[in-house]
A and B are shown apart, each in its own frame.
Chain A
Amino acid sequence: NAGVMQNPRHLVRRRGQEARLRCSPMKGHSHVYWYRQLPEEGLKFMVYLQKENIIDESGMPKERFSAEFPKEGPSILRIQQVVRGDSAAYFCASSPTGTGTNQPQHFGDGTRLSIL
């Protein structure tokens, strides 16, 4: 009965490297959401995916960020050519198939990304 699993929990990258964050949703959930939390701030929505489809990416920066949720395997948030400002906690959430907006999202423990 595992919840939303994110790995790694902590990730350190140097400027210019790539960061890959993984998220496995709860069993039976096919909707995945990514959020970013900057220090002293609430979470900001980035992207919403269903299996093999991006539904809403209105919160994603236009460059260097991408997300996918393949038919098999976890969802991946990819950040290319990282910069210091990318340092944040990145949270993944999932919800059941066919949910409406009143269904709660279940969150993972997050990945803390630090850029040196």
Chain B
Amino acid sequence: AQSVTQLDSHVSVSEGTPVLLRCNYSSSYSPSLFWYVQHPNKGLQLLLKYTSAATLVKGINGFEAEFKKSETSFHLTKPSAHMSDAAEYFCVVSDQGGSQGNLIFGKGTKLSVKP
């Protein structure tokens, strides 16, 4: 069965410093992986996706993630945090061997950015 583990429920960084949000996955098949961001009382916005092409994926707002099969990881990074990055981030796996509709969400990581 597929699953997603976000290792930190809360990450706090200072503005201008790097961001690292960690995600490990478990999947029986070749997974598709996504990172979504959720601002308070809003829906989810897609940051980036991995679908078995390049292992380093660039997304919007300066975020990127690297797929590492040997470590079953898909960590999200950004070189320099901005105040507007404060939000909740979800790592998501979609198992190509399973239902087309079934996205599996991690529990989320809340990112705080201090001035």
Contact = CB atoms under 8 A, between A and B. Distances in A.
Interface of A: 4, 6, 31, 33, 35, 40-45, 47-48, 55-56, 58-59, 91, 93, 99-102, 104-110, 112
Contact of A42 (B45, B100, B108): B108
B115 interface: no
A101 B43 contact: no
Contacts of B36: 107
A101 B74 CA distance: 18
Contacts of A43: 44, 90, 103, 105
Contacts of A110: 41-43
Nearest to A42: B105
23 contacts: A35-B103, A35-B105, A42-B107, A42-B108, A43-B105, A45-B101, A45-B102, A47-B101, A56-B102, A58-B99, A58-B102, A93-B44, A99-B100, A100-B100, A101-B94, A102-B32, A102-B49, A102-B51, A102-B96, A104-B49, A107-B36, A107-B45, A110-B43
A101 B100 contact: yes
Q: Which of A55, A100, A104, A110 has the most CB of B within 10 A?
A: A104
B25 interface: no
A40 B34 CA distance: 20
B83 interface: no
